[in-house]
Structure 1
Amino acid sequence: MKQIVYPIKDSVVLEQVQDCLLNSFEMGRRNYTIFQVGKATLLRVSDVLRLKYSDVFDENGKVKDDAYIHDRKTGKPNTLYLEPVKDDLLKYKKWLYAHEIHSVYLFPNRYTGTRVNEKQFYKIMHKVGELLGINYLGTHTMRKTGAYRVYIQSGYNIGLVMDLLNHSSQSMTLHYLGLDTESKRNMLNKINFG
């Protein structure tokens, strides 16, 4: 049976998930930073985990303004604006240095130096869900959560969210955001139709 993954809409729950990622695992800083980068860039987990250190940090160790990649699923070029996660990335870089973890990949497996793969990150998110009693967490949680936050905080700018997710229709994006009938009704109830 396929698990249904939703965005984290509640800020308190989001803080709990982030805290759990950071503090409940040996590689907590890495796990937390994966989540933060995925949430801020709206990348698919496969693209986040394929990021290389040199995609994000320049030769002086500073966070680049933008990272340039090709989406694995679509093959299209994608520019990632890194300012929203700059502080997280700098803390992560210090953590890597302190733990003497070196890899070409931004998010390496501590013991092999290869990148964390999607299955490993799914297990991490599943464990977080178990620890917090949340049954809708998965590898797409960070992308969906980032998209939902952009949607809400941009004043429901569906066009912006569609562009960031590289979706071709509003209905696809609304479904992705988990805006079911009840959510739509709640939003419509707040509108003054005069």
Structure 2
Amino acid sequence: MSKTFKTKLFKEEKNDIRKVGCSEKGKKIKSNKGQTVDPVKLEDIRKLFKFFEKENNVKIYAAIKIQLNTGLRISDVLEMTFNEVEAERLKEKKTQKYKKVKFNTNCLEAIEKLKKYYKNNKIENYNKGYIFKAARNTEEPLSYQTFSYHIKKAKTKLNIKYPFHSHSFRKTWAKATYNETKDVARVMRLLNHSNQAVTLRYIGIELEELEDLSNKIRF
């Protein structure tokens, strides 16, 4: 890769890295533990996709698309490799266990867009290594901080008021899966939760049921 091109490619993330202090792979990142966040509303998902399409931010667009269609943690999405997608099997960072993952056509189309983006920008390893490549070093994955920065930026620009961050897309997938199947045990297994009560709280079903009852029961 030429020096001129590397400088050009670096521009897409260098300001973000400066603002959020992004670390490379393996370094400690800020935790959102204890922070309550909501699933993303359908209308806001559409807005987010349009926002990142308009900005030509193929990486963030694709990362959201894959998370919404697989329910994977963002840490696993960002460090996913082309080989893992082909094998439909990856090692979860949190559990250190291997997991079978089915990538639907929406995921595969998003990955093809990324490959085309890399190829058009003359990145030699456009179809090898990490799917989400860092701008400064394409042998490294896109950092969580950079992804989180773009999500927060979009949330502000789109004037979305309720609390959500990168983890909300996994919650969105879980809630959609539950709404489709009404099988909480299945969702629990897919999320690797310890019991069904945890899963119901996770996707906010208990709260919705209470609110629904409060509207129906009147004296």
User: TM-score, length-normalised on structure 1?
Assistant: 0.81
- Note closer, same or farther for the CA distance 1:163–1:21 as it changes in structure 2 (3 Å cut): farther
How far, CA to CA, are the matches of 1:72 and 1:14 in structure 2?
26
Contact 2:111 2:131 in 1 (8 A): no
* Alignment partner of 2:71 out of 14, 37, 42: 42
- What is the 5 A alignment of 1:45-124? 45-56=74-85, 64=86, 67-84=88-105, 85-101=107-123, 102=125, 104-113=129-138, 114-124=140-150
Q: Aligned with 1:81: secondary structure? A: coil
Structure 2: unaligned runs, 5 residues or longer: 1-31
Please name the residue that 1:184 is paired with. Answer: 209
Structure 1: unaligned runs, 5 residues or longer: 57-63
| 1:187 Cα offset (Å) | 5.7
CA offsets per residue over residues 125-177 of structure 1, 9 Å max, x none? 111111111242211022111111111122x2212211211111111111211
Please name the residue that 2:180 is paired with. Answer: 153
Contact 2:83 2:129 in 1 (8 A): yes
- Note closer, same or farther for the CA distance 1:186–1:3 as it changes in structure 2 (3 Å cut): closer
Contact 1:125 1:137 in 2 (8 A): no
Q: Tell me how large the CA RMSD over aligned residues is.
A: 2.4
How far, CA to CA, are the matches of 1:190 and 1:157 in structure 2?
25
Q: Which amino acid aligns with 1:14?
A: I
CA offsets per residue over residues 18-63 of structure 1, 9 Å max, x none? 2223323x5x11111111111111111111111012222xxxxxxx
What number of residue pairs does the alignment pair up? 178
Q: Which amino acid aligns with 2:111?
A: L
* Alignment partner of 2:51 out of 6, 20, 26: 20
Are positions 1:139 and 2:170 aligned together? no
Contact 2:88 2:103 in 1 (8 A): yes
Q: Percent same amino acid at aligned positions?
A: 25
Larger Rg: 2
Please name the residue that 1:175 is paired with. Answer: 201
| 1:190 Cα offset (Å) | 11
How far, CA to CA, are the matches of 2:149 and 2:175 in structure 1?
23
How far, CA to CA, are the matches of 1:86 and 1:187 in structure 2?
38
How far, CA to CA, are the matches of 1:96 and 1:131 in structure 2?
27
Contact 2:69 2:104 in 1 (8 A): no
How far, CA to CA, are the matches of 2:205 and 2:168 in structure 1?
15
- Note closer, same or farther for the CA distance 1:180–1:99 as it changes in structure 2 (3 Å cut): farther
Contact 1:22 1:31 in 2 (8 A): no
Q: Which amino acid aligns with 1:82?
A: F
- Note closer, same or farther for the CA distance 1:89–1:190 as it changes in structure 2 (3 Å cut): farther
Q: Which amino acid aligns with 1:46?
A: S
